[in-house]
Amino acid sequence: MFRKPCGSNGPSLAVVTFALAGCILLSCCFQESSAIAIAPSTFGTAIARAGKISNTLKETTAWKTLTSHPNSLVQLLPSRAMRVVQEVVRSFRKDTHVVVTTSAGKIRGRFQKFRSGERGGYYSFKGIRYGQAPVGERRFRAAEPERNWSGIRDASREGNSCPHKNMILDTYKGNEDCLFLNVFTVKMPKGDYNPELPVMVWLHGGGYSFGSGNTFLYGPDYLVAENIVLVTLNYRLGPLGFLTAGPDAPGNQGLKDQILALKWVRNNIAAFGGDPNHVTIFGESAGGSSVQMLLLAPMAKGLFHRAISESGSALNPWAMGESSVARAARLAANLGYVGANDTKEILEFLRRVPPMKLVEASPTTLTEEDFRNNIGLPFVPVVEGYWNKPGEEAVYYETPFITESPQSMYEQHKFHKNIPYMTGYNTHEAMLFIRRLRKNPKLLEIIENDFTRLVPRDLNVTDERERVTREIRQFYLGNKQVGIESVDEMIALLTDLMFVHGIMRTVRNHAKYSNMPVYMYRFSFDGALGLYKRMLGLQRPGVCHGDELGYLFKFGFFNLSLDPKSMEVLVKNRMVRMWTNFAKYGNPTPSNLNDDLLSTSWLPVNGEGAMNNLTYMDITTHLQMKNNPELERQQFWDYMYEHYNGNAM
């Protein structure tokens, strides 16, 4: 037996490889004698875990003895097994200290194996600081770029997530020093060669209130295997990211963080083998809404070239809030502030409060009217400049993100019209409603007794609210009451209200006003990789909000050993290919590629016919182009907005 050297904190490379060689030898023997083999995904996981251990190992005397002695086990292994051992060992040591020079200084990343069981791996740079900690006077303001540094910074671990409460555990997590991003790529520049791969920048969801861009949920394995550079990032959340209180706290800090990260990408991604002139932004839920907000923001011009919004739109009712100093004042009062109703004093107080207390007190700022309007998110994006009085010179302490409503900006052509756009939704987005029911079993009874709360805020029905309430109720529920027996109907209603109608309005806006194609999808595959249903323990059929993410990202906590011939793997491969095709070519199914995986051409929405004929790709066990998703429900809401607002948009 080989002993651990004195003073060592872990097993030697000899011990790890000795054990690994034994596993491979057994695998090879079984394959030759009885056709029994370790599942590729299981084997890949084992290698990845061994790789993690190997990062701290050094080549010991024992290892040299093991590999050089003519009668050693390694020398006696079958040549095929030995080749695998050598490949694995080389991968443990290959480019483990990859140094890249950014505009601010040098960082050190590492090479790691794919966790998905495929051969090969990718270069990983985690926890790269793109902005200075927004603390002190910078709290509630736009962050500043990171300062230059000397020496080499380690980029092997992810940085802090921004302060938030975990969606599942409802526990606090994060640090205010959180402006970090991660970069993953399969190819790095060498000498005069730069692969100049397309870049995809991911904006995570979480209702602008929780989450991060880290690999626990957003592993890069699937996407980078298609030869793109993936960037994931953190941005400020909740009150720290979206509190509004005049020009000294204008709002949209989290969105400005995204801008700062995109500027970092523009200035530095070439050093990682990426093309700064070939950047696609994509995101889900609040991240999908953020993508659309960036399409509207003047300060984002030139920072990206394609865009994908999944299950989120700036036109969804939860995506934009009303600018209000009153909410900041309520937050301060609930945290113990006693004083004059002076905005400057309130902000001085809130800048001294620990971030954990700010996050935990956020829900207390919600009013009864907020709950009646289905607004459970107290701090979200806003239209800036709300403090400016008509006729007076506008006052801004920093460049505003947006100063007009999204719909108004579309109608005035004030958006980035030369960006190809892809967007869509899952069939049962509002299955998240089940989580609210678990927290508040009386919620169905509350809605039954106050169904008017489901009338959209932007529907102009002040004088006919009761009539509109009856029409909505009759259309979705018929003669049913709001209760356990009508949960499916309520999921359909809330799916339309919270997601689908706003997404369809977005598609029409882009088809009508944009110079580039817009592609729409409907994700209807209910498979084992559905993320949120697994996280929430939901057993109902249907595709929940967030379920498509499992077909784009490798989750750190999912150890599913799927049959390579399973439908889940096929759908995953198709999704990844279409998303990365869009990033590469601006078209998810380019006809010139002759790709057997994608036998159906994804047609863009026709601009002239968008009002009455929305073409979309239905993504399920197969791919099929269809027209007008959820047609009757779509027609109902088109009628309501045309009748009461004067337009169907």
Which tens digits make up the pLDDT trace of 417-434?
Answer: 999 999 999 999 999 888
Reply yes or no on whether the pLDDT at 107 is more than 60. Answer: yes
Same domain, 510 and 535: yes
Predicted confidence (pLDDT) per residue in 507-536, tens digit: 999 999 999 999 999 999 999 999 888 888
Torsions phi, psi for 66 (to 5 deg) = -60, -40
**Is residue 630 domain-resident?**
yes
Q: Which residue stretches of 55-171 are H helix?
A: 61-68, 73-76, 79-93
Range(s) of the domain holding residue 108: 97-408
Average pLDDT, the chain: 86
Cβ(382)–Cβ(247) under 8 Å?
Answer: no
Distance separating alpha carbons of residues 462 and 196, to the nearest angstrom: 55
Predicted confidence (pLDDT) per residue in 187-234, tens digit: 999 999 999 999 999 999 999 999 999 999 999 999 999 999 999 999
Grade residue 649 by pLDDT with cuts at 50, 70 and 90. low
Task: Please give the pLDDT value at position 503.
Answer: 98
Question: What six digits make up the tokens of 272?
Answer: 């990682």
CA atoms within 13 A on the CB side of 544: 23
Same domain, 306 and 402: yes
Grade residue 605 by pLDDT with cuts at 50, 70 and 90. very high
Question: What six digits make up the tokens of 296?
Answer: 């509207």
Same domain, 248 and 299: yes
Number of domains present in the structure of the chain: 2
Same domain, 219 and 324: yes
Cβ(121)–Cβ(225) under 8 Å?
Answer: no
Domain boundary pick from 377, 408, 439:
408
Residues annotated as part of the active site:
285, 429, 545
Give the residue-averaged pLDDT of 292-299. Answer: 98
CATH of the domain at 125: 3.40.50.1820
Cβ(178)–Cβ(238) under 8 Å?
Answer: no
End-to-end C-alpha distance for the chain, whole angstroms: 74
Token pair 């990211």 in the structure block, residue: 241
Cβ(640)–Cβ(471) under 8 Å?
Answer: yes
Same domain, 490 and 541: yes
Same domain, 449 and 386: no
Grade residue 102 by pLDDT with cuts at 50, 70 and 90. very high
CA 352 to chain centre: 31
Question: What six digits make up the tokens of 534?
Answer: 């697994």
Reply yes or no on whether the pLDDT at 122 is more than 60. Answer: yes
Percent of the chain with pLDDT over 70: 84
Domain boundary pick from 373, 408, 443:
408
Give the residue-averaged pLDDT of 289-298. Answer: 98
Task: Please give the pLDDT value at position 433.
Answer: 87
Predicted confidence (pLDDT) per residue in 371-411, tens digit: 776 667 999 999 999 899 888 899 999 999 999 999 999 99
Cβ(50)–Cβ(20) under 8 Å?
Answer: yes
Grade residue 69 by pLDDT with cuts at 50, 70 and 90. very low
Distance separating alpha carbons of residues 267 and 279, to the nearest angstrom: 12
Instruction: Report the range of poorest mean pLDDT among 195-204, 462-471, 496-505, 564-573.
Output: 462-471
For residue 498, give the nearest of 449, 428, 550 by alpha carbon.
428
Q: Which helix (H) or strand (E) holds 4?
A: none
Predicted confidence (pLDDT) per residue in 448-489, tens digit: 999 999 998 888 787 889 999 999 999 999 999 999 999 999
For residue 288, give the nearest of 535, 502, 30 by alpha carbon.
502
Task: Please give the pLDDT value at position 79.
Answer: 52
Task: Please give the pLDDT value at position 15.
Answer: 34
Same domain, 434 and 523: yes
